[in-house]
């Protein structure tokens, strides 16, 4: 089945140690999104790509970077994770944008020691 796959499901890292989360899709969608979701809160958009066109949210910390080497893959890099970065990170895709549904992966739960 076509889907959005996130790896790993659970990631534990040390304070300040760089970490990379990955997302792949078999839907061939143009748009890929990264969200951060903390406990009992709404998903918060960090950035999104339309093809290779990168769009960063104004309040996304500089600590967070993203790469999209091709249509299928997108990565979230956290350069120096702090305790406040512990959260669920959700990747989503959409065919073209606002008139299309977003398809979410199962998420990566990041813990910081």
Partner 1 sequence: QQPVQSPQAVILREGEDAVINCSSSKALYSVHWYRQKHGEAPVFLMILLKGGEQKGHEKISASFNEKKQQSSLYLTASQLSYSGTYFCGTANAGGTSYGKLTFGQGTILTVHP
Interface positions with partner 1 (CB under 8 A): 31, 33, 40-45, 48, 50, 53, 55, 90, 94, 96-107
Cβ at position 27, least distance to partner 1 in Å: 13
Closer by beta carbon to partner 1, 19 or else 108: 108
d(CA 57, CA 35): 11
Cβ at position 113, least distance to partner 1 in Å: 21
d(CA 73, CA 4): 10
User: What tokens were used for 5?
Assistant: 């796959």
d(CA 25, CA 28): 7
For 45, phi then psi, to 5°, come to -70, 130
Cβ at position 19, least distance to partner 1 in Å: 20
3-state secondary structure (DSSP) of residue 4: strand
Closer by beta carbon to partner 1, 15 or else 54: 54
Q: What is the largest CA-CA distance in the chain?
A: 40
Cβ at position 40, least distance to partner 1 in Å: 8
């Amino acid at each position: 089945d076509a889907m959005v796959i996130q790896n790993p499901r659970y990631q534990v890292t040390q304070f300040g140690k760089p970490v990379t989360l990955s997302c792949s899709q078999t839907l061939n969608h143009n748009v890929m999104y990264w969200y951060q979701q903390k406990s009992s809160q709404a998903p918060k958009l960090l950035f999104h790509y339309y093809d290779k066109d990168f769009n960063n949210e104004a309040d996304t910390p500089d600590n967070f970077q993203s790469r999209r080497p091709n249509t299928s893959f997108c990565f979230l890099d956290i350069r120096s994770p702090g305790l406040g970065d512990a959260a669920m990170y959700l990747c989503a895709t959409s065919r073209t944008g606002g008139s299309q549904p977003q398809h979410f992966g199962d998420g990566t739960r990041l813990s910081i020691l």
